[in-house]
Amino acid sequence: MSSFVEEIMAWVKEKNPAQPEFHQAVEEVVESLSVVMERHPKYRKAKILERIIEPERVLMFRVPWLDDKGNIQVNRGYRIEMNSAIGPYKGGLRFHPTVNLGILKFLAYEQVFKNALTTLPMGGGKGGSDFDPKGKSDNEVMKFCQSFMNELFRHLGPNTDVPAGDIGVGGREIGFLFGQYKKLRNEFTGVFTGKGLNWGGSLIRPEATGYGSVYFASEMLATRGETLENKICLVSGSGNVAQYTIEKINQLGGKAVTLSDSSGFIYDEAGIDDKKLKFVMDLKNVRRGRIKEYAEKYKVPYKPVDPKNDFNPLWNMKADCAFPSATQNEINEKDAQNLLNNGVYVVSEGANMPTTLEGVKLFLDAKILYGPGKAANAGGVATSGLEMSQNSLRLSWPREEVDERLHGIMRSIHKACMETAKEYGTPGNYVNGANIAGFIKVADAMLDQGVV
Q: Which residues bind ligand NDP (CB under 6 A)?
A: 98, 165-168, 170, 209, 237-241, 261-263, 325-327, 350-352, 377, 380
CA distance 198 to 217: 32
Asked about 126 being catalytic, the answer comes back as yes
Amino acid identity for residue 72 in this structure: I
Kindly state the smallest distance separating residue 40's Cβ from ligand NDP, in Å.
29
Name, in order, each residue with C-beta under 8 angstroms of 161's C-beta and a sequence gap of 6 or more.
79, 81, 88, 89, 90, 125, 155
Kindly state the smallest distance separating residue 252's Cβ from ligand NDP, in Å.
20
C-alpha dihedral, 434 to 438 to 444 to 450, nearest 10°: -140
C-alpha distances out from residue 420 to 41, 215, 265, Å:
18, 19, 37
Nearer to ligand NDP, 37 or 133 (CB): 133
CA distance 79 to 61: 9
Residue with CB nearest ligand NDP?
239
Kindly state the smallest distance separating residue 4's Cβ from ligand NDP, in Å.
29
Nearest to 90 by CA among 435, 384, 434: 384
Nearer to ligand NDP, 36 or 107 (CB): 107
C-alpha distances out from residue 263 to 259, 295, 301, 312, Å:
11, 13, 14, 12
Nearer to ligand NDP, 34 or 316 (CB): 316
CA distance 353 to 358: 12
User: Active-site residue among 126, 255, 284, 374?
Assistant: 126
Kindly state the smallest distance separating residue 191's Cβ from ligand NDP, in Å.
17
The total number of residues shown for the chain amounts to 452
Kindly state the smallest distance separating residue 417's Cβ from ligand NDP, in Å.
17
Nearer to ligand NDP, 2 or 137 (CB): 137
CA distance 39 to 177: 46
Kindly state the smallest distance separating residue 326's Cβ from ligand NDP, in Å.
4
| Runs of H (alpha helix) within 192-299 | 205-222, 240-251, 274-281, 292-298
Contact 57, 72 (CB under 8 A): no
Nearer to ligand NDP, 91 or 424 (CB): 91
Kindly state the smallest distance separating residue 164's Cβ from ligand NDP, in Å.
7
Nearest to 66 by CA among 179, 143, 172, 136: 143
Contact 63, 77 (CB under 8 A): yes
CA distance 415 to 424: 14
Nearer to ligand NDP, 55 or 210 (CB): 210
Q: At what angle do helices 20-39 and 3-15 cross, to 10 degrees?
A: 140
Nearer to ligand NDP, 21 or 43 (CB): 21
* Residue positions annotated with a catalytic role: 126
